[in-house]
Amino acid sequence: MDYYRTKPHGISRRSFLRATITAATWGGVVRQESLRAAGSWDNRPNFIIFFTDDQGYNDVGCFGSPFIRTPNFDRMAREGMKFTSFYAQPVCGPSRAALMTGCYPIRVGEPQNKKNQHTVLHPKEITIAEVLKGAGYSTAMVGKWHLAGGRKNKYDPKLMPNAQGFDYFYNYLRLNAVRSGKWKLVPPRPAKPAGTGWSGRMIDAVENTQLYDLEADIEERYDLAEQHPQIVARLTKLIDRAREDLGDHETVGSGARFFDGPRPTSRS
């Protein structure tokens, strides 16, 4: 989780973050005067925030990776700022909700990745992009949003980035690769890229760009859990024992703004 400025400016990082993120946390809108108080209006920084999923802490050079070379990221990190104390959860949705609003995920009703059960980010929430627009910035969101629910190919316009403060949105919404119907586009890649674990490796390298038939995928044709009922039963017992020992306090949404009481969960 890194915060970068694209070029040096007179305003201090601390003053800028105080003027924007603090205002987002308390639901305020930054006015031009607040940024003028922190520094010259003409010296406001242009900046980019990089937010990544499923990435180890030292998977890029500026965080100590000995395998993966990221010279452009490294330079931006040197000239900008790294969020080394940002509290990131083990799944993407809550961390994204926290970044966008400046609030703990539970406060905005997104403590877990349960996108099929409820709207992830309520349209009444004030995002950092809305705060920046109020300060005269032009804003853009590129890449994964994942804050608009999980109904396949159906997204409420009120939940999309363009309705949450972003002027420009170049995206994919839910899928993790370029797909059309049953086909997935697979670009060339080595079988075992350096620095990857078993989950990032393939039996054979992909030499040329190709289309992969998703309907022929083994996970589409076979139900792994159905093939191994004994293992499923054993793991279910372990889960039940953990719930007995630790307690099972499901209060999703009970302390969130804009929602009436707990919302549905995926647990049966």
Active site members: 92, 146
Q: Do residues 135 and 175 touch, judged by C-beta distance below 8 A?
A: no
Question: Quick one: which H or E segment has residue 3?
Answer: strand 2-5
Q: Are strands 47-50 and 81-82 parallel, antiparallel or unpaired?
A: unpaired
The radius of gyration of the chain's CA atoms, rounded to the nearest angstrom, is 22
DSSP designation for 8 = -
Q: State the Cα–Cα distance between residues 22 and 117, nearest whole angstrom.
A: 30
Q: State the Cα–Cα distance between residues 114 and 93, nearest whole angstrom.
A: 9
Give CA separation, 145 vs 16, 20, 114, 220, in Å: 24, 21, 15, 26
Q: What is the DSSP string of 181-223?
A: TTEEEE--B-SS-TT--GGG--SS-B-S-EEEEGGGSHHHH--
Sign of CA dihedral 63, 64, 69, 74: positive
Tally Cβ neighbours within 10 Å of residue 25: 16
